[in-house]
Chain A
Amino acid sequence: MKGYIIKSLLQVIPVLLLVSLIVFILVRVTGDPVALMLPETATAEDRAVLTEALGLDQPLYKQYITFLGSALQGDFGTSFRYGESALPLVLERLPASFELAVAAMIFAIIMAIPLGILSAVKRNTFTDLLISGISVIGKAMPNFWMGIMLILFFSVMLGALPVSGRGGIEHLLLPAFTLGIGIGAQMTRLVRSSMLEILNQDYILTAKSKGLRPFIIIMKHAFRNGLIPVVTIVGLQFTSLIGGTLITETVFAWPGLGQLLVTAVNTHDMAIVQASVFVIALIVIIGNLLTDISYRLLDPRIRYS
């Protein structure tokens, strides 16, 4: 196990290098930050002066070497927009994104596990059909539309919840629901199919013939084994939630990493784009590794190679 973890961690290095190179090139070929930093009335000379002051007149390979050298020391450059060091700016957004991702995931799990089990146990009944219907709708609804509708109903019409921003738990409910429902829907279907498969296996039949109560069979014998695909999806979706909540964060004015990244892309804030993508890549890699390890723990049949 130890060897496996070390090996996996070593593989992270070339991946991150590749990510840094791709992002570095992409942010430089897609637009000119200087034009966005100056007013439309700036003269060609104004632009040249600022380009030089920011070091953007250097050849690309030189810029990359400089970038890589500093990045190794945790310095991703200075944000054009904020005039501050990029990495701390990115890291200070993580708690907000993390909070939202955890809440969304909890919501998804609360929704998926009972519904998925119920759906499997009552397969091909009206209940099953209803749950499947709900999860298809949940998955199909676009986040931004869902968010706007929730705001209109709960905040504007009922006045029950705040519209946007980050604060207490009341601020968390709508964005967590918006973000969680799609994953919850996906997970419901996964729990259902996974449970169905297990409920048809011989050892469940044995348990039934021993006269165990159905509740015990489902929760103790079937559910634990049915958990593996759920763990996988929780792990994979959770990492993508942290970096990938752009739309929900924008709709709810949630000050997380997603909003930072969107603004940075729009304003061509290279240092922030590079630092955020790097941090997100790292989170995804570590998240996947943890997922890997955890379902190996859940299922001893999976061996490390």
Chain B
Amino acid sequence: MKTKSWITSGLLLLVVAIVLAGCGSSKESSTDSATNSKTLTIGNATDIESFDPHNNNNTSSEAVLVNMFDYLVKNDNEQKKVPVLATSWEQVNDTTWRFKLREGVTFHNGDPFTAADVKYTIDRVAKDSALKQNSYFKSIKEVKVVDDYTIDMITDGPDPLLLNRLSKMGAGILPSKYIKEKGIDAFLKSPVGTGPYKFSKWTKDDRVELVKNDKYFGEAPKWDTVVFRSIPEASTRVSELLAGGIDIASGIPSTDVERIQSEEGKQIVKAPIQRVLQLILRETEGTVTADPKVREAIDFAIDKQGIVDSIAGGAGIVTRTSVTPGNFGADPSLYKQTLYDPAKAKQLLQESGHAGAELNMTVSSQYKEYAEVVAAMLNEAGFKANLEVLEPSAFSERYSSKSFKEIFMIGIGNSLFDASNNYNRYLKTEAAGETDYNNPKVEKLLQDALVNMDPASREKQYQEVQQILAEDRPAVYLFQMEGIYGADNRVKFTPRSDEMFYADDITSVNG
């Protein structure tokens, strides 16, 4: 009897296994081709949003799309502007720029690239306010086609940032003929660009697969296939790397760094990114943080290097400015500098007469650990810090309604690589309600720099602003974050500060 019942269950098991095999095996085998040296597989925490470069606003989308779409100009490794689809450019007057376009370039579908495509692309992103990249391009009034390979770009007023705008995601050049004939939805299902890699397949929240574009106008692409896997859970990304399923894993938690380093054939690579973690302080009359001595005490109370070493696992660079090297207007004298003197913090707080004052600090849950340590340090200095941790979406609601109290902690990136992007929030109109920061000298410098077409004097303006802000402290900067990647030794990968994955900058060690 006993044996029979086991035979029955065994049979049942077999049937189920066959059924399972039937429903699974119809799918093609996966492309995790650790063994195939011509396939590059990168594991990211988030998937792309869409193949519309104009309607995307996350770095991880851009990191993928740069392989498919080209810009007129792009940033090299050091954030210098280099020609891509434009071969040269000149400023005709304060509001007009002339671009010469590259000839002989074709889109992946065979359409030739001409001035009409540039006009279509830039007009679209500059005019359609429902597009996520629109805010970066509003200053462009129109694109005039001079001839098939020459265009004039007209801006609303003097725009010193034009080249910075044209070298970011929203300026990815789209095929005008294809989209006009088939419509944008068809384009999104089967997107084409001019880049070194072509669209092959996208399974949302799973993978984007690109294949090489044999007709690329530049250097021949190095990989046959580039796969971007979307793996939200960090420990799973680490496991994929260790198991050999992916070549590069982004966003490695500092706690996993040692584990990857100790594994043979794997390595950790780091690079500073554009994001600076900071405390933004309210100066509205009646708040304790309106007192400059209190703000100074806050700055001196926080051991930034200690936070980098302990919580960030060393992946951070302390700074007294948010305009880090590689950005226009950076002041190197404030970079890699930090203030920490708990005794002085206590003394300043005593002098201000606000000892024991309550500081309400709000933070998004992603930076919770940092905020907890900062709060403890503030308490140590004699404040009474109340920490409020919010889910990212609740935090963003408060952020846009400018309803934080004394302090909020936030990591701010800069995708324009220009100091103006960091400092617009300290313009009087923007600061109103948020920090209520108001310094007429800073206001004047910032307003002038916004329309100053002379790079040399413009740079000086931002450097002066930086020095003033370092003393005024509408924000206390903690550190510039670093991107931590795990990589297989079979690839050579140097991460970029803009977090882009240009597949052809990543090389296979086996050739």
Contacts and interface: CB of A to CB of B under 8 A. Distances in A.
B29 A167 contact: yes
B32 A162 contact: yes
B467 interface: no
Contact of A84 (B130, B188, B414, B416): B188
Interface in A71-129: 81-84, 89, 92-93, 99, 102-103, 106, 110, 113-114, 117
Given A46-B135, A82-B204, A36 B396 contact: yes
A139 interface: no
A49 B134 contact: yes
Interface of B: 1, 4-5, 8-9, 12-13, 16, 19-21, 23-25, 27-30, 32, 46-47, 49-50, 52, 55, 57, 129-130, 132, 134-135, 185, 188, 203-207, 229-233, 235-236, 239-240, 242-245, 391-394, 396-397, 399-401, 410, 412-416, 421-422, 424-425, 429-430
Contacts of A151: 235-236, 239
Q: Is the interface of A mostly helix, strand, loop or mixed?
A: helix
A83 B55 contact: yes
A242 B492 CA distance: 41
Contact of A41 (B204, B206, B412): B412
Contacts of B13: 110
A144 B29 CA distance: 26
Contacts of A102: 23
A31 B129 CA distance: 21
B392 A36 contact: yes
A218 B421 CA distance: 75
A169 B24 contact: yes
9 contacts: A84-B50, A144-B233, A156-B239, A162-B32, A163-B240, A165-B206, A251-B236, A253-B206, A253-B233
A195 interface: no
A52 B232 CA distance: 32
B129 A251 contact: no
Contacts of B207: 165
Contacts of B243: 155-156, 159, 162-163
Contact of B205 (A162, A169, A263): A263
B397 A164 contact: no
Given A89-B204, A251-B233, A266 B393 contact: yes
A215 B25 CA distance: 36
Contact of A35 (B49, B399, B430): B399
Contacts of B205: 253, 255, 259-260, 263
A29 B19 CA distance: 46
Contacts of A271: none
